[in-house]
Amino acid sequence: MALTPLPDSRTEPDGSAVIRVLSYNVRSMRDDTAALARVIRACAPDLVLVQEAPRFFRWRKAAARLARSSGLVVLSGGAPAAGPLLLCSLRAAVESTEDVLLPLTPGLHRRGFATAVVRIGGARLGALSCHLSLQRDERLAQAGLLLDRLASLGVEHAVAGGDLNDVPTGRAFRHLAGTLQDCHATAPWGGEPTFPPGEPRKRIDAVFATPGIEVLGCGVPDGLPGVSRADLRAATDHLPVLAALRVPAAK
């Protein structure tokens, strides 16, 4: 079934920017990379918050290949952020980037954030991609660090998203949603569960926005023109989350 149209990217007369933000766990590009690129291109994002980007042998070339095949450019992240990666369209003018490694719990996987501040149209926006821990207590602590990091970007408006490894009733998810807008809950659009891709049952991937950003629609783009279920299943082991947001002009 075709989805109701999601607003296209544009700059409004008042300087505010309508942008599309896509969050996507790409499982180190171990699956069908052509299908992955087709999904991303069909979503026409201004920003892509990637998780599980390649981070070992020739990771820079792999990130560049993903960006090029998707019609985007690499913004920040990858190996220096332990997997999160940011891609952007040429609409985005980059002010700053920073890759952040989180405290390592012995015996657990290293985690990090890819962050940036960009200008799109007349709007100034912070962005953060994350992949939170599988361990409950560490995941909750990382959610707190995510909020701290967004606050430290020095911008009024920001988006964050990624693979939370948590559901909306979980402590980490609820901690984030207590401060930020859970974009799908604010303006439901498309599908809701994101994992596993063949028969999705859990919503563990999400896009969040700071107060003041208008959420125009957010969800899994199953049914978006150009996005086939076959490609969604073949691209990786998570479904993507696409959000359309109106970001006010910078003051």
Question: Is the distance from CB of 166 to CB of 178 less than 8 angstroms?
Answer: no
Identify the pLDDT of residue 3. Answer: 80
Identify the pLDDT of residue 4. Answer: 87
Question: Is the distance from CB of 124 to CB of 109 less than 8 angstroms?
Answer: no
pTM, 2 dp: 0.97
Average confidence (pLDDT) over 192-200: 96
Mean of per-residue pLDDT scores for the chain: 96
SS3 174: helix
Question: Is the distance from CB of 244 to CB of 6 less than 8 angstroms?
Answer: yes
Dihedral angle computed from the Cα positions of residues 78, 83, 84 and 90, in that order, rounded to the nearest 10 degrees: 30
Measured CA to CA, the distance from residue 148 to residue 153 in angstroms comes to 9
Identify the pLDDT of residue 1. Answer: 55
Identify the pLDDT of residue 171. Answer: 98
Q: Which two tokens stand for residue 117?
A: 């501040």
Provide the sign of the torsion angle of the four alpha carbons 208, 213, 218, 221, taken in this order. Answer: negative
Amino acid making up residue 149:
R
Beta strands in 121-170 (DSSP E): 123-131, 158-163
Domains identified in the chain and CATH numbers: 12-247 (3.60.10.10)
Kindly report, residue by residue over 166-178, the tens digit of the pLDDT: 999 999 999 999 9
pLDDT of 38 above 90: yes
